[in-house]
Structure 1
């Protein structure tokens, strides 16, 4: 029964199966490894291809972070009000 209107039955909550925690980790691990590679290549290789590889390897996590922040910022406001 519904508390607000006792005549209407309450609909059951939808079946939402949570994702296994393993499915969440591949991208953060990949970005972390890319960052470590970029830092090590910048530290150990001062010239040539190592410099270019360090710039690329350190730019990709930054670009991904900015893209995710902008995507979250530009989403429509939630039903509760405000941006989430």
Structure 2
């Protein structure tokens, strides 16, 4: 006769460790700095490479925002159905 180990219920999920503030705020700070750079380059440089840099720097946060919104809308919510 073999020893039987006690079974754990399937519904118990171990709590994850809290995330460090640096890991939470890295991307928002980076996008904020990129936006600040884009605004300053659009304000201070009116021609040439500054115009291209300002468009690129201001477009990237918008693209990231749209991608995050699409991902959030396509995930089912915790209440069931799409959010």
Smaller-chain TM-score bracket: 0.7 to 0.9
Structure 1 spans left out of the alignment, 5+ residues:
1-9
Query: Residue 80 of structure 2 aligns with which residue?
Result: 81
Query: Residue 68 of structure 1 aligns with which residue?
Result: 68
| CA distance in 1: counterparts of 2:33 and 2:25, whole angstroms | 12
Tell me the number of residue pairs that the alignment of Structure 1 and Structure 2 aligns.
75
Q: CA RMSD in A?
A: 2.1
* Structure 1 residues 39 and 17: CA distance shift in structure 2, 3 A: same
TM-score (norm 2): 0.77
TM-score (norm 1): 0.77
- Which stretches of structure 1, 4 residues or more, deviate above 4 A after TM superposition? 10-13
* Structure 1 residues 60 and 79: CA distance shift in structure 2, 3 A: closer
